[in-house]
Amino acid sequence: MNAVRLVKDDPKVSPAVKRELKPCVADEYPVDVSYGNLTGGAADDVVVNVLTCGDAVGVGSYVYRERDGSYENVFKAEEPPVYAEIDRGDLVVTKQVYDKGDPVSSPSGENVITYRWASGRFSEKYRTHNDYGKVVGDSPSPVPAS
């Protein structure tokens, strides 16, 4: 199963993500691929994350389910930066969150969304938001008690 061909041939994948999907070096494409049972099918499902070459920022995450010898897209997230992974049979999608003025290298936090397969589709089960700590100036020195 060729993950790059799967994404490039998928009509559900946006043209912007397909443009990003080119080799970074020689024939090495910026994709992370994992396999696991997310949908309860006979074959493993395929999770594909498409990344940028330079800084490995996730531009698209997809889940493909095997059906009758071919793979069909059953999930997509294309709001960068995004990354999907399999965790104990659930699909966990992490999206970086930026406040106004945040550089690309320093998001303010992240949303972690857990999806579970039921009734032929993924449904959101949990959503967690994590704020990243900010270092602002120096901490004041403690004042000794007199």
The confidence score (pLDDT) of residue 107 equals 83
Q: What is the pLDDT of residues 39-72, one digit of tens each?
A: 999 999 999 999 998 888 899 999 999 988 899 9
Burial category of 84 from C-beta neighbours within 10 Å (exposed 0-12, middle 13-18, buried 19 and up): buried
pLDDT of residue 55: 83
- Structural domain contains residue 71: yes
Residue 34 included in any domain = yes
Task: Flag whether 99 is in a domain.
Answer: yes
Each residue's pLDDT tens digit, 81-97 = 999 999 999 999 999 88
113-124 residues labelled b (16+ CB within 10 A) or e (exposed): bbbebeeeebee
Q: Is residue 143 part of a domain?
A: no
Does the residue 137 lie in any domain? Answer: no
- The per-residue pLDDT for 54 is 83
Would residue 19 count as lying in a domain? yes
For residue 138, name the pLDDT band (cuts at 50, 70, 90): very low
- Residue identified by tokens 């406040």 is 99
Domain holding 89, by residue range, is: 3-131
Is residue 142 one of the residues assigned to a domain? Answer: no
Q: How many CB atoms lie within 10 A of CB 42?
A: 7
pLDDT in tens, 88-133: 999 999 998 888 888 777 888 999 999 999 999 999 999 999 998 7
Number of domains, the chain: 1
